[in-house]
Structure 1
Amino acid sequence: MNIELDHVSVAGAELHQRDLIQDVSITLRSGEITLLLGRTGSGKTTILQMLAGLKPPDKGTILLGDEPIWQQGKVSQSMLLRMGMVFQFPEQQVFARTIKREFAYSMRPYRYTETQQKQLITQALGQWDSAKGQTDSRQFDLDGSPFALSGGERRRLGLALGTVVDPEWLLLDEPSAGLEASSVLLLLDALAQHRLDGRGAVVATHDLDTFLPIADRVLVLQDGQIVADLTPRELHSLPELLIQVGMGLPPSMQLTQQFAAVGLTMPLTALTPEEMAAGIIQLKSYEEAETENNDGEGSATTAAVSHPFHVHQGCSHSDFNNNEHVQVQGHPIDTRSSNTVEHSSQLYRTLDPRLKWILYILLVTATMLQHRWWGLTFTLVPVVLALGILPRQALVSCMKLMKPLLFFFIISTALSGTTLSTASGSLQLGFSLIQAEATLLNVYRLFIVTLASLWFSLTTPYGRMVEGLNWVLAIGQKIKLPVTSFALAVSLIFRFIPMIWSEWQRFSLIVRARGKAALRPNTVRVRDLGPMVIPLIMSLFQRAEDMTIAMEMRKVRENYRVGSTTSLLKWSKQDTWIGVIGLMIFIGYIWIRDL
């Protein structure tokens, strides 16, 4: 069945971010391999995640046949079972002790019998566990650990896990990245067979050399919009289009341009090395014939310049440079830089990071000094107001993060109020409201500080945050306090807050794609926590190791400087006024503390 996107839009999840997808309407046809092209951030992955039932559209509808994929904020399991999503780094999705258990987890939602599972695993191994035509080169031992495989082999295993159930639609995100040549051939064979069976595939990729020759259709994205819908051969005649959207040209298109630069136009549109070789041979034969026919009348170079095949299809470089809007297959390309999306939180973009640090320190100090409920509630008010004008997607993500924290606070309060007594000779369980209230007051204070920290990390890029902290701590450096290590530790903590949340979201998408559970976005079943937590922890360890290596290579301990200023810091009159207001509010908090 075809997939139809009707005026679909997805808002940006981060502050000041434009819409990830902007009013996209397109029909994806079964029996075709469709490529999604565009530079990083153009919206390719977001479209795949919407189709896979992982990210809901904020506007518009998505239909599979006549049935909406998204209904009341989630996708039915029957619909999910028809979609097969393979992520950009499929090797990171493995978690089980054996390869056989990995396959069993991918097939569990389909309720296959044991015989059917064995048959599907055998087919998958036949497709993915050997180089083309080499059945004796098997690497996957079903009883062996997936972690014993090399990086390329695990990536191939990830592709096998995503395709083992032969879904109606294959959704692949950069599937050829990190694959050796023999594995790429296996991938192309799998796509070709999938199309031959009348099923559809959508591939988001930058690897034009690999996928253009087998694709039926190409959708080019720019800033969340589809700016071109054409065939691979039509795209080949428009190299300016790829340059315009920020992508590089494949070697075949580069060679064609080099020929054209000396007055030679290839007689064939070459998508493969074989086609390119045939075109060069035909071009050479034509040149030799022209040289013989024009012997004594002009040089071969003159004949080449008047070559009858010297006809450019599509638009030239000058067409793109001289027009602000160029029509490609009915879709306009805006060659001017995209206008920044205006948010109600415009103020956050102009606040100096030094001011944010000052306000943050004042708020945390005022919060820690309060010892009454109503005083703490007053300190919560500005935090809630600041969070309230965040973009909706950022606010939703913030609320998702707060839920487990609130649950932890409730459990802590309940445990702290629990009492055990043996006064009457028997064990008696009771509950002390006084003890519980004292603990609840402390966790309420911690909750306010956590919200303020989350707001700071969401609204301040890491570089600006570090520069602002350097300035704030400069006075401590002058009196020879050990602030350098403190500044580094604080900046790394704030760095890891969004990093951990980002990794949690990424791996929750993976287990939801494999588990096929009809859940709302960002929701994970308890039974899927194991498959999620293991690769999550491994990824965080890898991130920490990478950061440690980077710090050692840059000799951060020796060269780190507190108090330096850069172009990231720019204090304005607006910052001064806000700082004065913040100081006055802080004084007010100190005053009400003793009332």
Structure 2
Amino acid sequence: MSDDWKLKHVSVYAEGTDKRLLLSDVNLTFKAGQITLLIGKNGAGKSTLLETMTGIRQLSEGEIRLGEASLWIMDSRRKRLDHKVALKLGISMQSSESQWFASTVRDEFLYSLKPYKVAPEAAKQRMESALAEAGLSIEMLERDPWTLSGGQQRRLSLACLLACEPEWLLLDEPTAGLDAVGVRRLCAVLEAHRAAGRGAVVATHDLDALLPLADAVAVVSGGTIREAAAAAAIAHAAAAPQALRALAELRAEAALPPQAPLRSGGAPWPAPREVAAALAAELARKPRERAGAAVRAVSAAASCGKSESAAGPSSANRNGVPSAAARELLRSDRFDPRSLIVVYFLLAAAIFAQKTFLELAIAGIFTILLLIPFRSLIWPWIRIIRAYAIMIAILCVIGGLSLAPISFDGERAFPIFIRFSKLLLIMLLGMPMLKLMTPMRLQRAIEQTFGWLSRLRVPIHSFALLVTLIFRFIPLLTGEWGRFAKLAHARGKAVTPLKTVPVSMLRSILIPYVRSILRLAEQMADALEARGFGYAKARPTYGFLLRFNRSDAILLLIAVCSSLLLFLTAFLQ
């Protein structure tokens, strides 16, 4: 018999600059030996809850325990996943294709089984047994998982979980893409899993297939989760006709008045006036709930702001909710890309002109002051910045070190420090630009500025498209690496910080990562061809035109004044 999942005051915020509250103060227990369904609208938070329970999404507040063991433990002042707990659960993600990276189905199985240290012969038996349970043939072991149909990929995702024999199955839309036979096999797998005393949490919209199996149902709505429904109520709903089940769901969502005594004729339906009054009350209640949620969010942001002096500014960036002014400033359409590029080149040239330590320190102060409004855009790059700073220190030590005799010459290390520090400041200035302008706006900026060169047969539109593709591909590279990092934690059971890949796994995922990037490039080329790129047009039509505004003027003024002061500082020294 496995242990119960216990969630206490669990809250999760969205990543990036938009610090939305995805899960709010969740208190719930998922009992072992039971199948619990998570139901709710798209975007309600079902996938977020499953990823949080698995440990592949950062927990902002609260605690998650499996029996007496906590999913997250403190280690050297940092939270990390408990490896023993991670081995007891397995998750199947909503998009099956997001889980593959190996060249064959066999390699996918072996990657999932590696953390469990299964002997080769036992691993072979587990693979064959799991494939049979999922309804796949053994010959499929040599197939590329990307070449399988959607339903086959869904079955393979389940088979990879079954081969690991976890105590808990966390399934996200497991019936999507399955035919009737596949759904029946899934139900048989869940029944066998429950019979073995193990538990399952299933996020689904397919109530017809899975509701008869469920021991409990939890309703997810707007990041909050209602207490699971009783088994007797579920059994009654599963046996009821579709119309009565729809009526029960409406009542469960408080969109209809409670069950009234049977009317003449035995019809349980309420009168039209009752339905209209109940719906009007529900529509009036929702704005009040949203207002209350906004007040709570502001209060949380204020409390984060009060604790910022003690915890540092990064604490507010991670957990705080940005103000309306901050969100307005960080919009990708706030500034004209041309003004951003001019500002960047002005400040970069001024930084390059600095030669002494004092000049570099002044340039560093100017850079920090200019980047304070955009600090939330730089925070995701903090690990790269830290690694670069460590590299500068190492290069300075190597450059100033003498072996005969052993000594350190600061004058030899100083030029290295100056050059690489200037590059660091310039790199910091460029980091917010990826978020402050979209690739489409950058393409439009190039075409509007240099479009007249096309009359001289200069392929300016092709050049603009190339620049746009480069800017689009950079987020794809980082996003794909993030996917591999998620797989390292979800399937490889890594306990390193999220969004990182353990050094021990780099060797096994490096070639698959390159293959995945090439596949993305091929898909992008197909998409461009399908949209007609590459076919010359006599006179292109633009959906929008860029124009300088007040924000651009203020930004340019600040950049011009700052660069002039830095140039004067360099020339006066």
What's the TM-score once normalised by structure 2's chain length? 0.74
Q: Deviation digits for residues 440-488 of structure 1, max 9, x if unmatched? A: 544444433333332122344x3xx533662466233246565433433
- Residues 1:498 and 2:472 aligned together: no
Calculate percent identity across the aligned residue pairs. 28
- Aligned equivalent of 1:86: 92
- Residues 1:399 and 2:382 aligned together: yes
Classify the secondary structure of the residue corresponding to 1:515. coil
- Aligned equivalent of 2:8: 6
Classify the secondary structure of the residue corresponding to 2:192. helix
- Residues 1:74 and 2:80 aligned together: yes
- Residues 1:566 and 2:544 aligned together: yes
Deviation at 1:543, TM superposition (A): 2.6
Deviation at 1:77, TM superposition (A): 1.2
Q: Deviation digits for residues 528-575 of structure 1, max 9, x if unmatched? A: 1244334433333333223222222222444699995739x6865455
Structure 2: how far apart are the matches of 1:139 and 1:320? 55
Classify the secondary structure of the residue corresponding to 1:88. coil
**Paired AA for residue 490 in structure 1:** V
- Aligned equivalent of 1:150: 148
Deviation at 1:79, TM superposition (A): 1.0
Q: Deviation digits for residues 226-284 of structure 1, max 9, x if unmatched? A: 3675469979999xxxxxxxxxxxxx99x956xxxxxxx799989xxxxxxxxxxxxxx
Q: Deviation digits for residues 374-425 of structure 1, max 9, x if unmatched? A: 5455454455456555686x6553213445555676788889899999xxxx
- Aligned equivalent of 2:164: 165
- Aligned equivalent of 2:67: 65
Runs of 5+ unmatched residues, structure 1: 131-136, 239-251, 258-264, 271-304, 422-427
- Aligned equivalent of 1:52: 54
Alignment of structure 1 residues 431-510 onto 2, 5 Å: 441-460=418-437, 462=438, 466-467=440-441, 470-471=444-445, 474-478=448-452, 483-510=460-487
Q: Is the 8 A contact 1:351 1:575 kept in 2?
A: no
Structure 2: how far apart are the matches of 1:519 and 1:38? 32
Deviation at 1:493, TM superposition (A): 2.6
Structure 1: how far apart are the matches of 2:202 and 2:420? 47
Distance 1:111 1:553, change over 3 A: closer
- Residues 1:592 and 2:569 aligned together: yes
- Residues 1:516 and 2:493 aligned together: yes
Give 1:120's match in structure 2, choosing from 115, 121, 126.
126
**Paired AA for residue 160 in structure 2:** L
Give 1:23's match in structure 2, choosing from 18, 22, 25.
25
Q: Is the 8 A contact 1:168 1:200 kept in 2?
A: yes
Distance 1:384 1:189, change over 3 A: farther
**Paired AA for residue 9 in structure 1:** S
Q: Deviation digits for residues 322-345 of structure 1, max 9, x if unmatched? A: 434669xxxx99478986985142
- Aligned equivalent of 2:266: 308
- Aligned equivalent of 1:140: 140
Distance 1:33 1:581, change over 3 A: same
Structure 2: how far apart are the matches of 1:140 and 1:220? 38
Distance 1:268 1:334, change over 3 A: closer
- Aligned equivalent of 2:252: none
Structure 2: how far apart are the matches of 1:107 and 1:21? 31
- Aligned equivalent of 1:548: 525
Classify the secondary structure of the residue corresponding to 2:109. helix
Alignment of structure 1 residues 196-595 onto 2, 5 Å: 196-226=195-225, 229-230=228-229, 256=242, 307-311=265-269, 316=275, 319-324=278-283, 334=289, 343-344=322-323, 345-349=326-330, 352-355=333-336, 357-369=338-350, 370-371=352-353, 372=355, 374=357, 375-381=359-365, 383-385=367-369, 388=372, 396-403=379-386, 441-460=418-437, 462=438, 466-467=440-441, 470-471=444-445, 474-478=448-452, 483-557=460-534, 558=536, 566=544, 573-595=550-572
Q: Deviation digits for residues 70-104 of structure 1, max 9, x if unmatched? A: 12211221111111122234455445566545434
Deviation at 1:148, TM superposition (A): 8.4
Q: Is the 8 A contact 1:127 1:186 kept in 2?
A: yes
**What value does the CA root-mean-square deviation take over the aligned residues?**
4.6
Distance 1:529 1:468, change over 3 A: closer
Q: How many residues align?
A: 518
Q: Is the 8 A contact 1:4 1:63 kept in 2?
A: yes
Q: Is the 8 A contact 2:96 2:154 kept in 1?
A: yes
Q: Deviation digits for residues 505-530 of structure 1, max 9, x if unmatched? A: 12111122222233222232222124
Structure 2: how far apart are the matches of 1:351 and 1:146? 39
**Paired AA for residue 343 in structure 2:** L
Q: Which segment is superposed worse, 578-587 or 433-442?
A: 433-442
Deviation at 1:13, TM superposition (A): 1.0
Structure 1: how far apart are the matches of 2:232 and 2:563? 66
- Aligned equivalent of 1:286: none
- Aligned equivalent of 1:278: none
Classify the secondary structure of the residue corresponding to 1:323. helix
- Aligned equivalent of 2:313: none
Structure 1: how far apart are the matches of 2:509 and 2:120? 25
Give 1:35's match in structure 2, choosing from 37, 44, 57.
37
Q: Which segment is superposed worse, 37-46 or 228-237?
A: 228-237
Distance 1:126 1:549, change over 3 A: closer
- Aligned equivalent of 1:241: none
Structure 2: how far apart are the matches of 1:218 and 1:383? 53
Distance 1:76 1:338, change over 3 A: closer
Distance 1:499 1:338, change over 3 A: farther
Distance 1:505 1:548, change over 3 A: same
Structure 2: how far apart are the matches of 1:53 and 1:412? 37
Distance 1:474 1:210, change over 3 A: same
Q: Deviation digits for residues 22-51 of structure 1, max 9, x if unmatched? A: 222222222222233344443322222221
- Residues 1:106 and 2:108 aligned together: no
Structure 2: how far apart are the matches of 1:313 and 1:53? 48
Q: Is the 8 A contact 1:354 1:471 kept in 2?
A: no
Runs of 5+ unmatched residues, structure 2: 250-262, 299-320
Structure 2: how far apart are the matches of 1:237 and 1:316? 23
What's the TM-score once normalised by structure 1's chain length? 0.72
Classify the secondary structure of the residue corresponding to 2:498. coil
Structure 1: how far apart are the matches of 2:462 and 2:397? 37
Structure 2: how far apart are the matches of 1:547 and 1:335? 40
**Paired AA for residue 308 in structure 1:** G
**Paired AA for residue 494 in structure 1:** F
Q: Which segment is superposed worse, 34-43 or 162-171?
A: 34-43
